[in-house]
Structure 1
Amino acid sequence: MSATPIPAESQRALTPTQLRQQLRAKLKQAQQGGPAVVAPGVYDGYGARMVQQLGFEAVYMTGNGVSATLLGRPDVGLVDLSLMSGHARRVAACVNLPLICDADTGYGNVVGVRRTIEEFEAAGVAAIHMEDQISPKRCAQLPGDRSVLPFREAVAKIEAAVAARKDDQFMIIARTDSVGAEGLAAGIARAQAFQKAGADAVFVELKAHPGLLDDLKQISAALTIPCTVNIDAGGPLLGLPATQLHTHGVALAIYPALLRNAVGFAMREALQHLQTDGHTLAAKPRQLTSKEYNDCLGLPEVENWERQFPV
């Protein structure tokens, strides 16, 4: 990660295919001993621009966060394909980074999956992950184990996703939520079947426990494609430096809750200052300045553009 903020407009815009190729190359490097790709979770374009400005190599759009911001509701299967893909299109358009997006269960059977791939591919997204939960799904970080599709049905949906894409650089990350209810061996078996079905990477959802890092090593050892991990699973992952993730078999690390929880905390704190003090002076030191805010959104570039066409 770069230590110097990078304005969103300082780099030549890449095409969706180029961004997809870029992500593939970085994940391959991680498999070969390079650092894991770190993708902070966002739920809007503002957060995505902040991620780019700070020099990260990829950005992740969390379905949980989108459900919270667009609907004000928990992640229990209320966000549909049109909401998610339309929002993804706007987020992808405002940054020059590969966007990895939560595609829930693929929004239906194999016919629905085909349309899901078409919509996210057209939106300029670099990769999606699709899970094997039954519908309506529930966020994996909510209490309890998840119910999953029968083995063959889950594999068929990944096969359909692979067959549906038009750009072979568009990445399909096959996720399984089977470990909680069926055990690690079942999760690995599904991951191996997803790999055989043509998935470009796998994502075995895990819960926090002392042996989680060993589980990750077992999963990656059983596969030849990149492995994704949700750092929000917690436990030993939380304090693991990003520079060490690849030594545990992780090629792609996503942080879905980082910004949504941090922003929620900051919003509540600022509102409490206003409620208690009757003014916002105490909150001022913990806010961006107007310049920082506008710079993040690319106002200087907009103004430079305007100056080229005086009226």
Structure 2
Amino acid sequence: MLQRSYPSFRSTLEEHGLVRVAGAHHALSGVLAQEAGFQAVWSSSFEVSASRCLPDASILSMTEYLEAAANIQKALDIPVVADCDTGYGGNYNVAHMVHEFEGAGITAVCMEDKLFPKMNSFAAGDQTLLDTLAFTRKIEVAKNAQSSDEFFVIARTEALISGQDVDQAIARCKAYALAGADAVLIHSKKSTKDQVVEFLDRWDNRAPVVIVPTTYPDWHVDDIRKAGVSAVIYANQGMRAALTALRESYRTIYADGDTTSLEPRIASVRDIFDLQRMTDWQKLDAA
């Protein structure tokens, strides 16, 4: 009764022309994303780090990110894609990462081609890339380490983030696809979609493409689909919205001295019980 079943990310990608993915950092936010209609959830290293008030800079351990992703997946009927940064180190770490995440029921992971330790893509700091050949080896190690054909490895290039051009991003992603990556993720911090559109126009469907439109939010999902994108990740909007709501709520309570004005604008305790599946759990004690 309390067991969850879910499709793999690979089968979800095959079923949908475009998979819409929402960022989360705990099971509750993942459940709300599923409730809204998203087909997958991104266990965001940025959100998991921020939930601890720590920078997204390879500070937390693989085990801590794994626990977050696994807890999200246990609560869902849709697949989790785990944001695994650089694979948590070298090739040994990548193999260990695949064993552990796959063993926890995660069917897709994403690795980026920056040096370990990495810095968040939108923060000031070193965005130096790993050598292309070295990253292709990481991809090969990851694919050789998986035990199921369903396991899905997304290779994320930070070429545009580091200041390189679309030519270099395409060259890297070609190498990653040839090394066995199941999809590539092209990341940009420009305020327009132009770099990503150029990449897509020149990619020739060598492998599925994933995008993260954090800094170019005005690209409608219908146009994203038409451009040939396979998955779109809204990586941190949920946490940003929650932060605004929490800040406003706490300030209102403190300023008003009671919660009367706030109550009509916040979820009920009953709503939380429903998300917890409280009734199902209580049936376990039924005579």
TM-score with structure 2 length normalisation?
Answer: 0.93
Where in structure 2 are there 5+ consecutive unaligned residues? none
Secondary structure of 1:40's partner?
A: strand
Q: What is the match of residue 134 of structure 2?
A: 153
Does the alignment pair 1:90 with 2:71?
A: yes
Q: What is the match of residue 217 of structure 1?
A: 200
Alpha-carbon offset, residue 115 of structure 1: 0.2
Q: 1:65 to 1:50 in 2, by over 3 A?
A: same
- RMSD over aligned CA atoms reads 2.0
Does the alignment pair 1:125 with 2:121?
A: no
Q: What is the match of residue 22 of structure 2?
A: 40
Q: 1:104 to 1:138 in 2, by over 3 A?
A: same
Q: What is the match of residue 232 of structure 2?
A: 253
Q: Is the 8 A contact 2:25 2:48 kept in 1?
A: yes
Q: Is the 8 A contact 2:119 2:126 kept in 1?
A: no
Alignment of 1:168-183 (within 5 A): 168-180=149-161, 181-183=163-165
Q: What is the match of residue 167 of structure 1?
A: 148
Q: Is the 8 A contact 1:188 1:222 kept in 2?
A: no
Q: Is the 8 A contact 1:127 1:170 kept in 2?
A: yes
Q: What is the match of residue 281 of structure 2?
A: 302
Q: Is the 8 A contact 1:22 1:98 kept in 2?
A: no
Match of 2:212 among 227, 230, 238: 230
Secondary structure of 2:117's partner?
A: coil
Q: What is the match of residue 247 of structure 2?
A: 268
Does the alignment pair 1:104 with 2:85?
A: yes
Secondary structure of 2:109's partner?
A: strand
Q: 1:97 to 1:282 in 2, by over 3 A?
A: same
How far apart, CA to CA, are the structure 2 residues paired with 1:182 and 1:51?
Answer: 34
How far apart, CA to CA, are the structure 2 residues paired with 1:153 and 1:212?
Answer: 25
Q: What is the match of residue 11 of structure 2?
A: 22
Task: Give the structure with the larger helix fraction.
Answer: 1
Alpha-carbon offset, residue 216 of structure 1: 4.3
Report the residue type matching 2:281 in the other structure: V
Q: 1:161 to 1:97 in 2, by over 3 A?
A: same
Length, aligned pairs only: 285
How much identity, in percent, do the aligned residues show?
Answer: 25
Match of 1:203 among 185, 188, 207: 185
How far apart, CA to CA, are the structure 1 residues paired with 2:105 and 2:158?
Answer: 27
TM-score with structure 1 length normalisation?
Answer: 0.86
Match of 2:172 among 184, 190, 206: 190
Secondary structure of 2:115's partner?
A: coil
Report the residue type matching 2:240 in the other structure: N
Q: Tell me which moved more, 49-58 or 172-181.
A: 49-58
Q: Tell me which moved more, 263-272 or 177-186.
A: 177-186
Does the alignment pair 1:279 with 2:258?
A: yes
**Structure 1 segments of 4 or more deviating over 3 A?**
none
Q: 1:22 to 1:78 in 2, by over 3 A?
A: same
How far apart, CA to CA, are the structure 1 residues paired with 2:181 and 2:60?
Answer: 24
Q: 1:218 to 1:79 in 2, by over 3 A?
A: farther
How far apart, CA to CA, are the structure 1 residues paired with 2:273 and 2:37?
Answer: 18
Q: Is the 8 A contact 1:53 1:296 kept in 2?
A: no
Report the residue type matching 2:5 in the other structure: L
Deviations 1:226-260 (A, max 9, x none): 1111121x22xx12222331112211011111111
Alpha-carbon offset, residue 84 of structure 1: 0.8
Q: Is the 8 A contact 1:146 1:178 kept in 2?
A: no
Where in structure 1 are there 5+ consecutive unaligned residues? 1-7, 31-35
Deviations 1:3-47 (A, max 9, x none): xxxxx97xx8436xx424422423xx42xxxxx111111100011
